[in-house]
Amino acid sequence: MQKLRAVAVALVATIVVSSSASAQMRNFDNSWFWGFKSGINTFSVPGHGNTSTVDLGIDWLITRTRGGLYVSANQSIFERDLEFLDPTSLTGQRTIHVNDMRRISLAGVAFPKHFGAITPYAGLGFTIAVLGDARVFVDSATTFPNNSFLDEVEKERSRSAVMGLAGVQIQTKRAAIFAQETMLPSNTSFLFRSVLSFFEFGVRYNFGSSIDQ
């Protein structure tokens, strides 16, 4: 029942915003948007399986007719333990406590076609992700990690990667709502080895023309 209600609301919203599509496009093309977003960050924690966390952020979207520039800053809020290999430990691994993750992203985006006030988009860019903290636990045998292990943990606390995103924005005068998916490939030199997936939704507001008059 809840899904049916959601679909009905989405259809009504689509009809309403599409009724004045030409006006909406004047508020989309060649514009400068600021937005706020929230969502879910999904990844796999070594030794503990898949997990999801809350993700918050702001973004900046500069549009032309068929393309634009996308910039965003995000923070995922969480505390997780993961297992990291260490031959000096009696168990062969150590537990590391990590918390939070910050991301800065830059991408070029394309707007292939407008469907009334609905604009799908896709982009390719670059992301820098940094974990807020990574604390190494001493194992039950009280064997301490050596400096090379600590250096490796610190090195793998951050990563840079190519990112891909796809989404849809629904325009209503100067305000818009949007939903998008961002993905980063897996990386064996980052504490989270898995693919990072971010589903986000939010609002953007057109603050004016992106063309110097």
Tens of pLDDT, residue by residue over 7-33, are: 344 444 544 444 444 445 567 888 999
pLDDT under 70: residue ranges of the chain: 1-26, 139-143, 210-213
**pLDDT tens-digit map of 126-154:** 999 999 888 887 766 556 777 888 888 88
The closest of 32, 102, 107 to 73, measured between CA atoms, is 102
Task: Give the separation between CA 81 and CA 45, rounded to whole angstroms.
Answer: 8
Residue type, 48: H
pTM above 0.95, yes or no: no
Q: CB of 123 within 8 A of CB of 70?
A: yes
